[in-house]
Structure 1
Amino acid sequence: MMITSYADSALSLLPPVVAIVLAVVTRKVLLSLGLGIIAGVILLTDFSFTGAASHLVSTVTSLVWDDGALNAWNLQIIGFLVVLGVITALITVSGSARAFADWAHQRIRNKRDAKLMTMFLGCVVFIDDYFNSIVVGSIARPITDRYHISRAKLAYLLDSTAAPVCVISPVSSWGAYIIALIGGILTAHGFADTGHLSVFLQMVPMNFYAIFALLLLLCVAIFGLDIGPMRQHERNAQKGELFDESKGLPPGATADLPEADTGKIMGLFLPIFVLVAATIYFMVSTGADALAGEGLPFSVLGAFENTEVSESLFYGSLVGLVVTIALTMQQKISTSMMFTGIKVGAKSMLPAIYILLFAWTIASVIGELETGKYMASLATGNIPFALLPAVLFLLAGLTAFSTGTSWGTFGIMLPIAADMAMGSDSTMMLPMLAAVLSGAVFGDHCSPISDTTILSSTGASCHHLDHVMTQLPYAIIVAVISIVGYTVLGFSGSVAMGFITCSVLFVLAILGLKIATK
C-alpha cells in the first residue's frame, strides 16, 4: 500500500465524493468513476502526475494480475457474469423463457403475485448476494416483463432481498464471513467460550435495517407503494417502456434474440436448478478442502466460512452452461441461433463488467487512501454512549456508501464497535455490532459504486443509476426508522424497546405511504 500524507484524512473522501456526485449529476457512471479514480491516484502520489499515471496502470493491471499471479477472484467473477449472460440468452433462444412466462401466466395472475414470487425466490436463494441478484433476475424477468413491472422495480426487488437476507442468514457467504469476524472479536475480548453461531442468531432481531427493509419491500409488493422516481418508471412500464430506452440497452439485456417455438419450462428450471446445486456443492467442497488443509473437522458452517465464493460461482455456472447447451441442442435449435445466443449473451454483460472493473479500481484506490479508516475514526470522539448505536449505524452507512463495500465496512467497523462497548458497557456489544451490520447494508443499498448494487441492476437488466435513484427513497425511509430504533435502544438499554419503536414507526410510514400513493 502506498503511503501518502492524504491517507486517513478528510481528503481521502474526495475520490468517492467526486465519483458519486458526478454520477448523480451527469448520469454517466463510467466517466464519473474514472474521474474519481484519477482524483484518488493524484492524492496517492502527492500530485505527481507521472507517478499518478504509473500508479493507475499498476492498479488497473492488478485487477487481472496481482503479486505475480492471475487475480483469480476478479477473473472468476467476470467469468461467472459472462457465463450467466450466455445461459440467459440460450434459455431465451430455446424458447424456454417464453414457455415459462406462458406457464406462470396461468398461475401468477397479477402484478402483485409476480412481485411476491420474485421476493420469495430472493429469500430462498440466499447463499450469496451476487448469485441471488443474477439468478433470481434471470428467472423473474420474463414474468415481471409480462405484467409490465419496470426493470427498476425488479432491481429493487432483487437488491432489497439479496443483502438483507444474506446478512441475517448464517448459512450464506455473508453469514459465514460475519460469524468469523465476530468470533475473532469475541476471542480477543475474552469470550472464547461463547458460541459464535448463537451470538450471530442473537443479533438477528437487532439488525433493524435488514428486517424492516424486507418488510417494506413486502408492503411495496402487496400495496404498490411507488414513490419518488419509481412512480414514473412504473407508469412508463404500463405503456410498455420497461426501461429508459433513450439510454440504450441496459446491462444484461438480450433484446432482438430469435426465439424457438418449441421451448419447454424444463429448459429454464433444470439449468437454474443445476446451477444452484452445483454452486452449493462447490462452496461446500472448497470450504471442506480449506478445513482439511488446516487440520480442522468438517462442518457445514465451517465450510461456508472458508469457501471460495468466486471459484464456486464460476464452476457452478459452467456446469449450468453445459446443461443449458445440452437442452438447447436436444431441441435441435440451429447452430446459427445458438451462436447468436452465445454472442449476444456474452456481449450483454459487457456494460456491467465495465462498471464493475471501474468500481473495483476505485475501491482499491479508496482502500489505499484509508477512507474507511478515516470514517471509522469519526466514531471515537466525545459522543454520549447512549447515542453510539445510532452513530455507528450512520458511520457504517457512510463508510459503505463511500467505499462501495459492506464486507470492508464490517472488517473496519466491527472491531471498533466492540472496543467501544467493552470500554463503556459490555452488555451493549451485540446491539452495537448489529448497528454496524445494519448501517453497512444501508450504505451498500445507496451506493452507486457498490458491486452488489451493480449486479442487481445487471440481474434486472436495468440502467444502473435508475436502480440507484429509485431504490434510494425506500432505503432512506428504513434508515430513518432504524436510527430512531437504535437511539431508543441506546437510551433504554432494551432491544425490545428499540424493535417496538421501529415497528410503530414502520406501521405509521406504511400508512403515510398508502395515503401518499393513492
Structure 2
Amino acid sequence: MMISYADSALSVLPPLLAITLAIFTRKVLLSLGVGILLGALLLTDFSMIGSGEYLANTVSQLVWKDAALNSWNVYILGFLIVLGMITALITVSGSARAFADWAKLHIRNKRDAKLMTMFLGCVVFIDDYFNSLVVGSISRPITDRYHISRAKLAYILDSTAAPVCVISPVSSWGAYIIALIGGILTAHGFADAGHLSVFVQMIPMNFYAVFSLLLLLCVAAFSLDVGPMRQHELNALRGNLFDETKGQPPGATTDLPEADTGKVIGLFLPIAILVFATVYFMVSSGADSLAASELPFSVLGAFENTDVSSSLFFGSLVGFIATVGLAIQQKVEWSMLVKGMVVGARSMLPAIYILLFAWTIASVIGQLETGKYMASLATDNIPFALLPAVLFVLAGVTAFSTGTSWGTFGIMLPIAADMAMGSDSSMMLPMLAAVLSGAVFGDHCSPISDTTILSSTGASCHHIDHVVTQLPYALITAFISIVGYTVLGFTGSLMAGLISCSVLFVISIVILHFWAKK
C-alpha cells in the first residue's frame, strides 16, 4: 500500500537530497539513486520488501507500461542512440573537419562562433531535445576550434532550447501550452478567446525567457564569463575544453579516425534532412490524431496533437540513412563506418543512464505528489499584488525539485488561473506567464531536468559542470524577473514591468562586465 505525502514537506526530501548530493559530490547517478531509494522507502513506509517491489515495477515501466511498450521513453532513447551514430559518422567521414575548415574562413573569431551557435539555437525551435542535440552536433567542431569551453557551449544550448520553445507557438512546447491554456480559459468562461492570440499576448510577459535570451546574447558578444564559467573558459584557452579528470563526457567521440575526403555538405545535408524529416513526422502524426478525432486539419492543431518522441526517432532514422549514404558517396571505408556507429552509440550511454535515473526519480516524485505540495504553498494570505512574483518563485522551486517544466505547467497553471479569477481576472495572463517563466527557470537550474541533461550531452560536457556554470546567469535573470513581476503586480502595467526589468538588465550587464574584467 502506498502512503500519500501530498500535504507533507517530506515529499520534498528525495529530490532535495538528490540535488544536494549531485552538486556536492558531482556523482549524478549515485545522487539520483539515493534520492530514488529514499522516495521508495517513504512510499512503502520503510518496508524493504515493499521498496524492492516498488522499484522493480517502476523501473520496468520505463520500458513496458500498461501491457504495452512505453513508446515515449523508448523512442527518446532510440533518438539519442541514432543521433550519436549520426554525429560519429559525420566525424568519420571528415565532414566535421571540412566544416571546421570552412568556418575558419567565414567565422573570424570566438564571438562569431558563439553567436552562430545562438542563432542556430533560435532557428531550430521545434523541440528542446531536438534543439540541444542537433545544434550541439553542428556547433561543437566550431566552438572547439576557437577554444570555447564545452560548459559555455552547453549554456548556449540550454539557454536557447527551453526559452525559445516556450515563446514559440509552432513548437512542441508552444502547442502543449496553448492546449493547456485553451482548456483553462474555456473552464473559466473565456471560450471566445483565441488561444493562439492569447499565447502571443503572453510572450512579452514571459520575463525569464525574454531576458535569459538577451543575457545570453550579451554573454556571447562581450565574453561576460563569471563564476565557475570563467575558470572553464580559461582552461579552454589552454586546450582543456572539459575537465579531463572526470573522464570522457557524454557524446564524446574523440577516438575516431577521419577520412580525407570529407565535404561540408556531408554535415549540412544530413542535418537538414533530419530537421525536415522530423517536422514532417510531427505534422503527419498530429494530422493522423486530428483525423482520428474527426477534427479539421491545421498546422497548429497538428503540433498540439503530435507524437514528439516517435517523430524525433523516425526523423533521426531518415537523417541516419542520409548520413550513411553521403559517407559511402565520399568513399569512406566500411570498417570506419562500422566503428563510427559503434562509438557513436556508445558515446550516448552516459546520457541514457542519467535519463533513466532521472525518469525513475520523476516517477517517484510523482507518487509522492511533490508538485502538489509545492503548489499548495501558494496560500490566500499572500497580498494579491505579490502573486505574480510568488507564482514565479513557486513554479521555479517546483520545476527545480521535480525536474520537469511540463509537469509544473500542468500543476501550476490551473492554480494560477483560479487565483486570478478569485481576485482580479485582468491579471490572469500575467499570472499564467509567471508560471511559464518560473518553470523554465527551475528547469534550467535543476540537475535532474532532462533538458539540462540533454544540453550537457549535446555539448559533450560533464553534466554537473554545466549545471554549476549556468546557475549564476539563471539566478541573475530570475532576480530581474521577480522584480518585474512585483512591479507588474502592483501597477497592473506590463510596460512598467518590462521597463523595470530592462533597467535591472542594463545594470546587471554593467556589473558583469566589470566582474568579468577583474
Q: Same fold (TM over 0.5)?
A: yes
2:242 corresponds in structure 1 to: 243
Question: Hey, what does 1:468 align to over in structure 2?
Answer: 467
1:303-330 per-position Cα deviation (integer Å, ceiling 9, x unaligned): 0000000000000000000000111111
Using the TM superposition, give the Cα deviation of residue 429 of structure 1 relative to its aligned residue in structure 2, in angstroms: 0.2
1:61-460 map, 5 Å? 61-460=60-459
Query: Partners of 1:423 and 1:117 in 2: how far apart?
Result: 46
How far is 1:388 from its partner?
A: 0.2
The C-alpha deviation readout for 1:383-442, integer Å capped at 9, x for no partner, is: 000000000000000000000000000000000000000000000000000000000000
Question: CA separation in 2, counterparts of 1:305 and 1:159?
Answer: 23
Matched-pair identity in %? 79
Q: Report if the CA contact (8 A) 1:8-1:369 is conserved.
A: no
Q: CA deviation at 1:236?
A: 0.2
Q: Quick one: which amino acid aligns to residue 275 of structure 2? A: V
AA partner of residue 144 (structure 1):
T
Shift of 1:336: 1.2
Q: CA deviation at 1:5?
A: 3.8
The 5-angstrom pairing of residues 43-62 of structure 1 reads 43-62=42-61
2:476 matches 1:485: no
* Partner Cα distance (1:227, 1:311) in 2: 40
Letter in 2 for 1:503: S
C-alpha distance in 2, partners of 1:302/1:5? 37
CA contact (8 A) 1:155 1:467 kept: yes
- CA distance in 1 between counterparts of 2:331 and 2:213 reads 43
- Letter in structure 2 aligned against 1:143: I
CA distances 1:347-372 after superposition (whole Å, capped 9, x unpaired) = 00000000000000000000010000
Q: Which amino acid aligns with 1:473?
A: P
- In structure 1, C-alpha distance between the alignment counterparts of 2:23 and 2:312, rounded to whole Å: 32
More displaced, 302-311 or 379-388? 379-388
- Aligned to 2:469, the other structure's residue is in SS state helix
Taking only aligned residues, the RMSD between alpha carbons, in angstroms, comes to 0.6
Aligned length: 517
Q: Aligned with 2:509: secondary structure?
A: helix
Q: Deviations over 1:258-311 (max 9, x none)?
A: 000110000000000000000000000000000000000000000000000000
What is the CA distance between 1:242 and its match in structure 2?
0.2
Question: Which SS does the other structure have where 2:62 is aligned?
Answer: coil
- Secondary structure of the residue that 2:106 maps to in structure 1? coil
Q: In 1, distance between residues paired with 2:7 and 2:167?
A: 31
Normalising by structure 1, we get a TM-score of 0.99
- Tell me by how many angstroms 1:335 deviates: 1.5
Distance 2:4 2:233 in 1: 48
* Residues 5 and 46 in structure 1, CA contact (< 8 A), matched pair in contact too: no
- Measured in 2, the distance between the counterparts of 1:62 and 1:369 equals 17
The alpha-carbon deviation at position 339 of structure 1 amounts to 0.9
CA separation in 1, counterparts of 2:7 and 2:179? 26
Report SS of the residue matched to 1:380. coil
- For 1:65 and 1:381, the matched residues in 2 are separated by 42
Whole-angstrom CA distance in 1 between matches of 2:322 and 2:509: 44
Amino acid at match of 1:278: A
Per the TM alignment, residue 340 of structure 1 is displaced from its structure 2 partner at its CA by 0.7
Matched-pair contact (CA < 8 Å) for 2:4–2:368: no
| CA deviation string 1:469-509 (max 9, x = no partner) | 00000000000000000000001111110010000000000
- Distance across 2 between alignment mates of 1:49 and 1:227: 46
Aligned-pair distance for 1:81?
0.2
Partners in 1 of 2:286 and 2:370 — Cα distance?
31
Measure the CA separation in 1 of the matches of 2:4 and 2:204: 42
Give 1:256 shift: 1.5
Amino acid at match of 2:312: L
Amino acid at match of 2:46: F
Following the alignment from structure 1 to structure 2, what is the Cα–Cα distance between the partners of residues 331 and 516? 49
Once the two structures are TM-superposed, the CA of residue 4 in structure 1 deviates from its matched residue by 1.0
1:206 deviates by 0.3
State the TM-score, normalized to the length of structure 2.
0.99
SS in 1 for 2:325: helix
Distance in 1 separating the partners of 2:112 and 2:244: 26
1:42-76 CA distances to partner (integer Å, 9 max, x unpaired)?
A: 01111111100100000000000000011000000
Distance 2:380 2:351 in 1: 40
State the AA in 2 paired with 1:196: H
| Structure 2 residues not aligned, in runs of 5+ | none
